[in-house]
Amino acid sequence: MNSSKVIVIGSGFSGLSAATSLAQQGYQVTLLEKNSTPGGRARSYIAEGFTFDMGPSWYWMPDVFESYFNRFGKSAADYYTLERLDPSYTVVFGEDDFMEVPAILSELKAKFEELEPGSAAQLNKFLAQAAYKYEVGINQLVYKPGLSVTEFMSPRLLLDVLRLDVFQSFHKHIRKFFKHEKIIKLMEFPILFLGALPENTPALYSLMNYADISLGTWYPKGGMYKIVEGMVQLAQEKGVEIYYNQDVQSIKVENGRATQVITETGIFDADIVVASADYQHVEQQLLKPADRVYDKAYWDSRVMAPSSLIFYLGVNQKLQNLQHHNLFFDEDFKPHAHEIYTDPKWPAKPLFYVCAPSVTDATVAPEGCENLFILIPVAPDLKDDPETREKYFNLVMDRLERLTKQEIRSKIIYNRSYAHQDFIADYNAFKGNAYGLANTLMQTALLKPSLKSKKVNNLFYTGQLTVPGPGVPPSLISGQVVAAEIAKEFAVTATVKI
């Protein structure tokens, strides 16, 4: 067994993934978590009999999760039970204008044909291209550490640059296939909710549409936190020691090496440090200036993915006209897209998303009640105060009640909001962001903050501010990528634990 001690900071998906992968390689791994429970943004809590997933609510790319557990001789089914949702989700375009997106492809094609004759054939062509991008992107590109341009110099990748549409925007790409505005909105939604604008996002990300339409939308019974519980169980099975309520205050660096991680209550010796906490916070707050790779100007120039204003609601009756996932595109948000994601302004007419997991899973709410998670994507670095939260709560509820044709506010028995200040307090999130960096061309692969420090030679980073990017599956992969890089550099004497 390798005697090297690895300290992993943060127990989100990337931290748990990195810790478990390194433990599998024989390292002595200690994971330090700031909060009282694991999961990072994917934490869960119970209030008034309701079980709320605090962050991620979409289970896409089931193959990525399965591949992760398979690495350890396990299956996702060993830890939680999946159910495919049908419809996958509902898009609300206006009053009495709901579009349920079916899980069966032939049914989706029929809906497309109704809107735009010939679009079913176009969808076939689009998905064929997207499937190829998914194969190359998810099985090859996202597992590259982004440390050198030579990683991308294989003959196949060089030949495939045009096929992958790296230099074309998603906005232009989608309009080559479809003309109807409803279809375009439907196809662009994964880009918007991953924290970028279609105009600034490479068409490579049509792979997300393949994940959506071809691989399906799933739900782990009991909630998304079941994934975290499974990952924690697996980590502990592999020997990872997890300590909670450990707010890291600094990383001690001596002669270009991190030697200790210091929390409010303890000092942890380290041979290697992996930071799964917010990258900017670790660099700017936990390291001395001489040990930082990026300066304040660098971070301020990054294009951040949005933050979120979230409402966790418990309703004392069952509701009508809501599916598990519901996207509200009833307002013309396009003119406000720039302010939603970049300008420091609250949007005038925001899109919003409602997750009602109790429609699928009776265990997440008391009998006869509904569990609602309402998310409004907003720009990071906004003034976040109770008055603004109340304003947007009423704005969204006005629309939700009108569109679903029912009174909801008087039925709410639990209400909690969560926004910028909470992301900063709980996760040290840069500018209160929720998703990390936006997926722009100039923030892809080599152009992201590096997963390896150039000044502290045993300090590595993982998570949504480095490769491969934001989202649950990318974060899961990020932990595996950083573990592989550490193994290349430091695992000369490591042995694999079975």
- How does pLDDT run across 117-138, given as a tens digit for each residue? 999 999 999 999 999 999 998 9
pLDDT at position 161 is 62
Joined together, the tokens standing for residue 268 give 């942890």
CB-side neighbour CA atoms (13 Å) of 372:
31
* Residue-wise pLDDT tens digits, 16-55: 999 999 999 999 999 999 999 999 999 999 999 999 999 9
Which range (127-141, 181-195, 231-245) has the least confidence?
181-195
Supply the mean pLDDT for the chain.
93
pLDDT at position 330 is 94
pLDDT at position 193 is 64
- Asked whether the predicted pLDDT for residue 140 surpasses 90, the reply is no
pLDDT at position 337 is 46
* Residue-wise pLDDT tens digits, 357-397: 999 999 999 999 999 999 999 989 999 999 999 999 999 99
Length of the chain measured in residues: 498
Contact call for residues 278 and 286 (beta carbons, < 8 A) = no
Which pLDDT band holds residue 497 (cuts at 50, 70, 90)? Answer: very low
* Residue-wise pLDDT tens digits, 260-293: 999 999 999 999 999 999 999 999 999 999 999 9
- Asked whether the predicted pLDDT for residue 298 surpasses 80, the reply is yes
Q: Kind of pairing, strands 28-32 and 5-9?
A: parallel
* Residue-wise pLDDT tens digits, 305-334: 889 999 999 999 999 999 999 999 998 655
Helix H segments across 140-224?
Answer: 155-160, 170-175, 181-193, 207-210
Looking at the chain, the whole-number percentage of residues with pLDDT higher than 70 is 93
d(CA 449, CA 464) in angstroms, rounded, equals 10
d(CA 320, CA 311) in angstroms, rounded, equals 19
Average pLDDT over residues 459-467: 97
d(CA 167, CA 153) in angstroms, rounded, equals 17
Average pLDDT over residues 187-195: 80
d(CA 457, CA 485) in angstroms, rounded, equals 12
Which pLDDT band holds residue 192 (cuts at 50, 70, 90)? Answer: confident
- Asked whether the predicted pLDDT for residue 10 surpasses 90, the reply is yes
Helix (H, G, I), strand (E, B) or coil at 421: helix
Long-range contacts of 395-402 (CB under 8 A, 24+ apart): 395/350, 396/311, 396/350, 396/352, 399/328, 399/330, 399/331, 399/352, 400/328, 400/354, 400/374, 402/95
Structural Rg of the chain based on CA atoms: 22
Which range (14-28, 139-153, 302-316, 475-489) has the least confidence?
139-153
Which pLDDT band holds residue 438 (cuts at 50, 70, 90)? Answer: confident
3-state secondary structure string, 438-451? CCCHHHCHHHCCCC
d(CA 390, CA 396) in angstroms, rounded, equals 10
Contact call for residues 187 and 173 (beta carbons, < 8 A) = no
d(CA 374, CA 352) in angstroms, rounded, equals 7
pLDDT at position 156 is 67
- Asked whether the predicted pLDDT for residue 1 surpasses 70, the reply is no
Helix (H, G, I), strand (E, B) or coil at 6: strand
d(CA 339, CA 456) in angstroms, rounded, equals 37
d(CA 333, CA 352) in angstroms, rounded, equals 10
CB within 8 Å of 256: residues ≥ 6 apart: 455, 456, 457
H or E stretch including 97?
Answer: strand 97-101
Q: ω before 468 within 30° of 0 (cis)?
A: yes
pLDDT at position 167 is 82
Contact call for residues 189 and 60 (beta carbons, < 8 A) = no
Average pLDDT over residues 473-482: 97
**Global pTM?**
0.95
Nearest of 15, 8, 45, 13 to residue 422 by alpha carbon = 45
Give 325's strand partners: 355
pLDDT at position 338 is 45
- CA 39 to chain centroid, in Å, comes to 12
pLDDT at position 11 is 98
